[in-house]
A and B are shown apart, each in its own frame.
Chain A
Amino acid sequence: MEYAVLPKSGYDKFISFLAKQKKLVAPVYKGNNHYAFEPVTNAEQISLSYIPTILPPKKYFMPQYETLVEYDTHEGQNMQAVVELEDLILFGVHTCDIAGIQCLNMVFIDRPRDLNYLIRKNHIIIIGFECNNYCDSDASCGLMDTYNPNGGYDLFLTDLGDYFLVHISTHAGEELVVKSKAFEDVKPNHFEDLKALRKKKEGIFKPEVPVNRDDIPKMFEEGFDCEVWEEIGNRCLSCANCTNVCPTCYCFDVKDIPNLDLKTGKRIRIWDSCQNEPFAKVAGGESFREKRKDRKRHRFNRKFNYPVKRYSRFFCTGCGRCTRVCMAEINLKETIVALAEQTGYIKKSAKQEVK
């Protein structure tokens, strides 16, 4: 069984079933065109039509604050390494955010492995949800080619009118489908519907910036000293909003939180940001990315250049969050256009406006 059909009439039943299995987390509307992944118990709480949530599902895989080690110094330096985890079903995850989780997987499985991440991720079931159209104009999933499903989920739902076609990718996903008793068998016309949707999407999702994706790492390499970095560096406030909301930013700090007895406590990991000035500072006082332009350029290169060398994939998923949250209105697509113009990589034939 690779596909199944969930009639819209069975949707409520399926969600209620999921909520009874494990803690269920799904996109919830928070007002002012903002959404967040939050625990839900029924279908009414869920907003299936949503723009990317304030924080990506990264927060469940790599929590903002997590304990790595518990220590006791009453007699020497005693410690116990721990993993904090929670059985979860993540429902309604867009393909861009699934791509983000795939990026994080690569980082944390790379040796030396990060067991805190790897153990935790095996306790999370991912149910994806297809975007039939752009969420808004800040997204660049056309350029990054993340608007169609490309693995990394247990189940994947596509809204095809009065039913969802569901791709069953794992045994864990299959169990949910079978046990929920909310599904019907798939018929040939369902695949035709899916094919028609995907074809329609090819007409909708186009590279939002007129550059060849394969040229991007080279463009960043050659554009290291371009004016665009100075220009966005001058505007940047170093607030680190962009790194916090990024589905693939994983930089962290490790620090000790002593208990009141000052003998016991924990060593924790918290999110950190390469946009903060002290991030690349050493004890001697030297700061290796002292200027905002250095730090902005570093972050962009960590999405479009360095990970391509290290992990053979882009670490931008095109979700558009960094653009939406930037208080200085630094826009990812405009930045890439400016860089492409300054390096000569802009497609001359396509004098199209940035969408």
Chain B
Amino acid sequence: MKRRINLFSQRIDNQTAKRYLRYGKRVTYGVLLFGVVTLMVFFGTYVFLNKNLADLKTKKNTYNRYILANQSFNQEIQHFIHKFSLLKTYISTDAEGYRYYQSLLSIVEPVGLTDNIESFSIENTHEVNFSLSASTYEEGIQTLAFFERPEVLKHFDSLTLESFDISQNIAEYSLNFNGVMKPLK
């Protein structure tokens, strides 16, 4: 029996292969073109980065040499800065209460109330509490009026009379104030 060759199907295969070949070539050229451009960009960047790195290394060596030449002073100054900044931080939390107490005394001194101050407390936020005694009701009212004066109030951010009491055993009045004193320079 004679075998028949299907020439038509072979031609189709050949055409498909050629089409793929053409497609493959185009892709290959495209990739090659993209690669060359990318390579040029990469190479330029690589040279730039390398130069930059070399410059930075030189800079680092220069600084290192300077620090090494002053090694002893460097350690001392670092220690100094550390402890000195701590010192300033800790001092800033101090209430400096006595300065504010003295300030209060100087406020009440013109009207002779310095000896009437019975208690005083102040926090580092300048929140203050103090009490003054008055032997009579009239004196108490005068004290209250004194603390309402603008020249007195200018020393405080706020000031309120918390209580105006009379002692049970002896005829003595007590005025308790609280408020916030203005920071002293």
Q: Do A and B come from one complex?
A: no
| Interface, chain A (partner B; CB < 8 A) | none
| Interface, chain B (partner A; CB < 8 A) | none
